[in-house]
Amino acid sequence: MKIRTRFAPSPTGFMHVGNLRTALYEYLVAKHEDGTFVLRIEDTDQERYVEGATDVIYDTLRIAGLIHDEGPDIGGDYGPYVQSERLSLYKPYAEELVKKGCAYYCFCTKERLEQLHESGAVGYDRHCRNLSEQEIADNLAKGMPYVIRQKMPVEGESTYNDLVYGDITVPYEDLDDQILLKADGFPTYNFANVIDDHTMGITHVVRGSEYLSSTPKYNALYSDFGWDIPTYIHLPLIMGKTVNEDGTETISKLSKRHGSTGFMDLINEGFLPEAIINYIALLGWAPSDNQEIFTLDELIKAFDIHGISKSPSVFDYDKLEWVNAEHIKRMTAEEFTAHAKPYYDKYNISEDKYILLDEILKPRITRFTQLDEKLGFLGSLADYAIELFEHKKSKSTIETSKAMLEDAIPLLENVDWDRDSITDALKKYAEEHEIKNSVIMWPVRIAAAGVAVTPGGCAEVLILLGREESLRRIRIGLNKLKEL
């Protein structure tokens, strides 16, 4: 049988990386076996409706590359794929359960339930579970608002198997009569979820481990209807770590206090979609070998449920940064340039410099947003401190710098303007004067760049600036030194 998984987010306008990882695993579970990945929108909560929120879901999945085979926007044989459009479907199922004696009408008011909870009760007290036929008929005739509740077994226990966690057993006495159909006629998630998964032919239910203890309720529903229970794959949660004022650390479910947790937030900070996907794939799953950098296609091939771990994992921004850098390093020159182009344009960099920039920039950034800082010296010459010319390790001092710049000017005026020629000329000069290469390289680079740290060395900086601008800056540097 072909595997069918589903991603069923509710449109909140925000895609948490935890949700995205769930979507990713659902996608991988299906695609590893050449199965079908379905998108279903769970919008049964009318009070939480957010305008444009479904677009965030579509955009995220598209950018992340998790392309669904069926969904609200592309259709499929099991539609509609939006719960609010399936509304008429749920009530008959709920009523069928009532007829079977597996569910019942409940007329308790919200006020009564609130009081119940305030008095310390946990769950529902099953107040309406045994109303007489007559009472029910009367209440219904009076038009009293009602919900439909699931009639759970009261004793014994329920066991099911999860592919990650193994057998899970929960005593029935700990499971209450949950609401299936709300007073507004909408199904609860707990109910819609089961109906939809079954009617959509979902074979593997992949979700966060927070559902582990309520799954027996769903299983009771499946068996009440006489349906097959799907294969369960529960995922460990993604956590965040904060350091408290007293130096201790707190680990809790990843949230905004830990940093950016929304997919789009991460994108805006300069993380690549493929790097985010790569990193979150590794949070809670490990391949059978030691590979760490994956493309989505490689993940599809390598993914194996056996590699999913049971314990929660902490989101590590440092490692995400490293994964991002690795993806950048693996880019072709064309790909790198495409990402860097906006920054190049900002500094009016001509196309003939792209190859050089690819070479010197690629190993020096972990995110493209750092390009501004790396390229900054090209835009204008900073009013740098004269001490920049002093560098112990390079044996460069104010005095040597002055002499070097003086000699460098005529040399650079006549050398062929390419990397090798410039480097050779400077090295030859050093050799002839029996000094270290750095004694001349250092001051020339500093004078040209005006900053201590540059991507690339002396020759690269000169090439990027061009002969004219380079010489202009070196003369400025020389004057600075002479003024002392």
Of residues 133-162, which lie at the interface with RNA (CB under 7 A)?
Answer: 145, 147
**Under rule CB under 7 A, residue 73 binds RNA:** no
Is 358 a binding residue for RNA by CB under 7 A? The answer is no
β-pairing verdict for 4-7 and 36-39: parallel
Q: Which of 5, 6, 7, 8 binds RNA (CB under 7 A)?
A: 8
Which is closer to RNA, CB of 176 or CB of 265? 176
Residues in contact with RNA, counted by CB under 7 A, come to a total of 91
Q: Does residue 379 interact with RNA by CB under 7 A? A: no
Q: How far apart are CA 309 and CA 295, in angstroms?
A: 21
Provide the CB-side half-sphere exposure for 55 (13 A, CA).
Answer: 3
* Minimum CB distance to RNA, residue 2 (Å): 25
Q: Which is nearer to RNA, 2 or 45 (CB)?
A: 45
- Binding to RNA (CB under 7 A) within 75-94 occurs at none
Q: How far is the CB of 409 from RNA (least distance, A)?
A: 17
Q: Which member of 71, 454, 470, 471 binds RNA (CB under 7 A)? A: 454
CA dihedral 465, 470, 473, 475 (to 10 degrees): 180
Stretch 286-325 residues interacting with RNA (CB under 7 A): 286, 288, 290, 292, 306-307, 309-314, 316, 318-319, 321-322
Q: Is 32 in the site for RNA (CB under 7 A)?
A: no
Whole-angstrom Cα distance, residue 343 to residue 442?
A: 27
Range 40-59, binding RNA (CB under 7 A): 42, 44-45, 47-48
Using CB under 7 A, which of 363, 416, 421, 433 touches RNA? 363
**Least distance from C-beta 100 to RNA, angstroms?**
21
Instruction: Tell me which of 139, 231, 397, 437 binds RNA, using CB under 7 A.
Output: 437
Distance, in Å, from the CA atom of 48 to the CA atom of 52, rounded to the nearest integer, reads 12
Active site residues: 256
- Report in angstroms how near the CB of residue 126 gets to RNA at its nearest: 12
Tell me the window of 21-29, 49-57, 167-175, 346-354 that interacts with RNA (CB under 7 A): 167-175
The residue from 18, 456, 465, 471 that contacts RNA (CB under 7 A) is 456
Closer to RNA by Cβ: residue 46 or 223: 46
CA distance 291 to 295: 11
Output the smallest distance, CB 243 to RNA, in A.
Answer: 10
The verdict on 174 binding RNA (CB under 7 A) reads yes
Q: Are 461 and 426 in contact (CB under 8 A)?
A: no
Report the nearest approach of RNA to the CB of residue 228 (Å). 22
Q: Which of 14, 104, 186, 294 binds RNA (CB under 7 A)?
A: 186
Binders of RNA among 88-127, rule CB under 7 A?
Answer: 108-110, 113, 117, 122-124
Q: Report the residue from 130, 132, 134, 169 that binds RNA according to the rule CB under 7 A.
A: 169
User: Does residue 253 belong to the site contacting RNA (CB under 7 A)?
Assistant: yes
Residue of the chain from 394, 400, 401, 470 that contacts RNA (CB under 7 A): 394
- Residue 284 found at the interface with RNA (CB under 7 A): yes
Least distance CB 152 / RNA (angstroms): 12
Q: Which is nearer to RNA, 216 or 273 (CB)?
A: 216
Among 199, 213, 369, 479, binds RNA (CB under 7 A): 213
Closest CB 169 distance from RNA, rounded Å: 6
